[in-house]
Structure 1
Amino acid sequence: MFPKSIPIPIPGGLHGPLPRFVEVAQKLSTETVDDVDAVIASEFARFSHIDLKGKSVAVGVGSRGIKAQPAVVHALLRELKAAGAVPFLFPAMGSHGGGNAAGQEAVLAEYGYTEAAFGVPVKASMEVVEVGKVADGTPVYCDAIAHAADYIIPVNRVKPHTSFRAKHESGLAKMLAIGVSKHAGAAAMHFHGMQNFHYLIPQAAQVSLDNTNVLFGVGIVENSLESIRHVELVAPADFLERDAALLELAKASIPQLLFREIDVLIVDQIGKNISGSGMDPNVTGRAGSGLPGFDKGLKIKRIVIRDLTDKTQGNATGLGTGDVTTQRMVRKVDWTKTYVNMVTAGVLNGARLPIVADTDRDAVGIAIRGCPGVESSQARIVRIPNTLELTHIWVSETMMADIEADPRLEIKSAPFELKFDAENALQGTL
């Protein structure tokens, strides 16, 4: 049993004076698709030559909290029904949701993907069919229920991955190679390590395309506000080419912190609905995999993780890339879900336990203590809600010169003190 309190009696204590803060707006990419229904209808018309009357269509949805995806799925289902198809939803999320059907269905329900909400059945199973092998003999699988349907449509956001760099990262190719292939496929791919995903993912995706009835894929690119910047329906013949092109667009659209050096980054929440790694290393520069390619010039000395999102359902993937966390956070962790995810991915560092502070105030103090030569009152501190929502953040006055030098940063408040309640929990929301 983890102790309910861990005293840290050190000279001077943990609660040194903190700098004042200001609310700052970051001006990031905000290009937006105004009418999702119209775009999906127009894109769907490109496939009107395919007779879908009476055809069953398996629409694969993943485990990520893609804010604008429900609108896309609603529009897609509307077009499929109008064409006479009989669509249903299925979880396309590899080993997530605890690696079992009930858990994966629960993940979809947490994001609102239910029969009541979408008007089509949700069919969850961990059974798979082997559909072929890549060049090195690694098997490629497909969800058995989806495989039995007349057509499959994977729906996914395309974005830089949180553990590796390649021509194909998070997107349509990976959705086929790992998401649609369930736990068996995820384990088969991850067995070789993410350092080999640069060839495994496109090869596995091509095997799947060659041996299953993929109607098309739906690729979504978000802007920094989590709205849709671009969405398109991708034909099987164009799958790999368009997946790579959409990744380049996504790289120019992801949120970021517009600073060069931060002593302490306070992250209010991590979770699988925020990032596949809990908190996005494309923002923090810290990849649990240890693979290169995430250094964008921002140096963060210490990271405090305050809490888990509700939608992550206890999955604390990425906790190990922080330096300090809280008792509140640790008591919400479902270690089985976390370990299944991390062991399957082979990224054991992501499940390690940082220093556990009794309170938020202690956590901030410990993190500052972990910055040699930094006085508490002079610490460069940034507070963010999570690594997905970065348009409004709190920044310490000690970073005022950085703010004033960057036209993309705008001060939105008068200086204020951080407030903690009677139990030393950090107050205020971003």
Structure 2
Amino acid sequence: MSAIDTLLAPIPLPRVVKVRQIFPRPRIDDVEAILTAKLRESGTLQAIRPGQTVAVTAGSRGVTNLALMLKVLVREIRAAGGEPFLFPAMGSHGGATAEGQTHLLAKMGITEESVGAPIRATMETVQLGTSDTGCPVYLDKYADEADAIVIVNRVKPHPAFRGSYESGLMKMVTIGMGKQRGADHAHRLGFGEMAANIPSVARVTLAKKNVLCAVGVVENAFHETALLEVLPKDRIELREPELLQEAWKLYPRIFFDELDVLVIDEIGKDICGTGFDTNIVGRYHTPYASGGPRITRVAVLDITDKSGGNGNGLGILDLTTIRAYRKFDFEQTYPNALTSTVPMSVKIPMVLRNDRQAIQAAVKMSNVADRDAVRLVRIKNTVSLEEIAISENLIPYAEAHPNLEVLGEPRELPFNEEGNLF
């Protein structure tokens, strides 16, 4: 046995029980019908003249129903006489290359065949001007050449800063549509200036370009479409802060304020920009955001395949596995840190041989004298929080909590022969 084996082998792991977390669940069942109706009611596409090209943003976040919404937009733009195309609007994601960004879209089911329109990918940009905060304003070259633009994005809290505009439509204009160069300049002075830079830069683009409308989406705690609005250009800046408040009301969480160990099965760029939602875990890579539970040690076991080797977020956590480490791709991950100017997210935490050792190490380093008293929670990821597993010593708390329902009986954590969970 190695020294690591010797230290960790005696560490007991608690039995766990499944628990259902109860969240409000407003949702739109027929997204296609609702978006179609709202586009037609808004009249925003009636400004299209026959033959005009219309650029539609295609972001990298795992927005539910995004491929369907893009397909509807393509159909409606074409019906109005326009010639739609998609362009990757994702800052530095996909390794900051056109090929990487197109590949990232394909992994989310967004292809020319699935949406019925061409995808024009480039990292070239055009400078439109300078914001009142002194930030250069950039726009994707193909979007700049188009006759009109339609913006699509989910509105939600940002994992690194607080402001009236966080992750949403104005950020899509500033960073997504600005490509790596726009993202780089917006981040240059750090996240402390982001709350001011996002609306300042976006205003320049909105003033200078023919933006027909924006489709703003709010999701519920189950990652379902809960609210969908079509906003004309002059309503985007006014309405987004209200949509952000709606997003906070529906936001998922872990209904435990203090934990000794949190086990996250997977992180990835398809889950959140930081690999996991920092607001849910209570771990942040900047001092400009706070909140969430207080957790002593966090172990992450894997990186999603859809993340394409992007291990952004590992550095904010404490422990990981050799499986996740081997997926970590510097070329896919480091451009995010170099653009955002935040190196913490891409550091490598302690790497253990398998899931069992990663969890044992988290328990050992949680500084709880009585190992039977370690409060442990296991989640799949930060978008799948309806069912979680808790250590059996948390059952009394769960039984008394109005948002928690205990399911079944406590069981040992299920490890395979390699020491990994299944």
TM-score (norm 2): 0.97
**Structure 2 residue identity aligned to 1:403:** A
Contact 2:264 2:379 in 1 (8 A): yes
Contact 1:319 1:351 in 2 (8 A): yes
- Any residues of structure 2 matched to 1:242-391 within 5 Å, and which? 242-292=239-289, 294-296=290-292, 298-391=293-386
- Any residues of structure 2 matched to 1:11-410 within 5 Å, and which? 11=7, 13-45=8-40, 46-47=42-43, 49-292=46-289, 294-296=290-292, 298-410=293-405
**Structure 2 residue identity aligned to 1:144:** K
Contact 2:71 2:116 in 1 (8 A): no
Instruction: Provide Cα deviations, 1:45-89, integer angstroms capped at 9, x if missing partner.
Output: 212542342221111111111122222222222211221211111
CA separation in 1, counterparts of 2:300 and 2:2?
17
CA separation in 2, counterparts of 1:191 and 1:78?
38
Q: Unaligned regions of 5+ residues in structure 2, if any? A: none
Deviates more, 1:13-22 or 1:102-111: 13-22
Secondary structure of 2:266's counterpart equals strand
**Structure 1 residue identity aligned to 2:291:** D
CA separation in 2, counterparts of 1:163 and 1:320?
14
Secondary structure of 1:411's counterpart equals strand
The structure where helix makes up a greater share of residues is 2
CA separation in 1, counterparts of 2:121 and 2:102?
6
Contact 1:314 1:338 in 2 (8 A): yes
Contact 2:285 2:344 in 1 (8 A): yes
C-alpha displacement of 1:10: 4.9
Contact 2:57 2:151 in 1 (8 A): yes
Secondary structure of 1:34's counterpart equals coil
Contact 1:15 1:361 in 2 (8 A): no
Contact 2:169 2:214 in 1 (8 A): yes
CA separation in 1, counterparts of 2:84 and 2:155?
23
C-alpha displacement of 1:402: 1.4
Instruction: Provide Cα deviations, 1:195-233, integer angstroms capped at 9, x if missing partner.
Output: 101111101110000111111111110011111000111
CA separation in 2, counterparts of 1:258 and 1:106?
36
Deviates more, 1:13-22 or 1:344-353: 13-22
Secondary structure of 1:271's counterpart equals coil
CA separation in 1, counterparts of 2:253 and 2:247?
12
Contact 1:6 1:358 in 2 (8 A): no
C-alpha displacement of 1:123: 0.6
CA separation in 1, counterparts of 2:102 and 2:46?
33
C-alpha displacement of 1:415: 1.6
Deviates more, 1:38-47 or 1:339-348: 38-47
**Structure 1 residue identity aligned to 2:4:** I
**Structure 2 residue identity aligned to 1:210:** A
CA separation in 1, counterparts of 2:224 and 2:2?
42
2:4 is the counterpart of 1:8: yes
The count of aligned residue pairs is: 420
C-alpha displacement of 1:108: 0.7
Q: Give the 3 Å change call, closer, same or farther, for CA 374–387 of structure 1 in structure 2.
A: farther
CA separation in 1, counterparts of 2:67 and 2:371?
44
**Structure 2 residue identity aligned to 1:177:** T
1:421 is matched with 416
C-alpha displacement of 1:193: 0.8
C-alpha displacement of 1:301: 0.8
CA separation in 2, counterparts of 1:58 and 1:385?
36
C-alpha displacement of 1:136: 3.2
CA separation in 1, counterparts of 2:74 and 2:3?
55
Secondary structure of 1:164's counterpart equals coil
Contact 2:11 2:364 in 1 (8 A): no
Secondary structure of 1:301's counterpart equals strand
CA separation in 2, counterparts of 1:319 and 1:102?
25
Deviates more, 1:375-384 or 1:55-64: 375-384
C-alpha displacement of 1:395: 0.9
C-alpha displacement of 1:374: 4.0
**Structure 2 residue identity aligned to 1:322:** L
CA separation in 1, counterparts of 2:52 and 2:186?
31
Q: Unaligned regions of 5+ residues in structure 1, if any? A: none
CA separation in 2, counterparts of 1:373 and 1:403?
21
CA separation in 1, counterparts of 2:367 and 2:256?
20
**Structure 2 residue identity aligned to 1:343:** L
CA separation in 1, counterparts of 2:154 and 2:285?
21
**Structure 1 residue identity aligned to 2:419:** N
Secondary structure of 1:325's counterpart equals strand
CA separation in 1, counterparts of 2:393 and 2:48?
63
Contact 1:189 1:200 in 2 (8 A): yes
CA separation in 1, counterparts of 2:337 and 2:244?
24
Q: Give the 3 Å change call, closer, same or farther, for CA 335–15 of structure 1 in structure 2.
A: farther
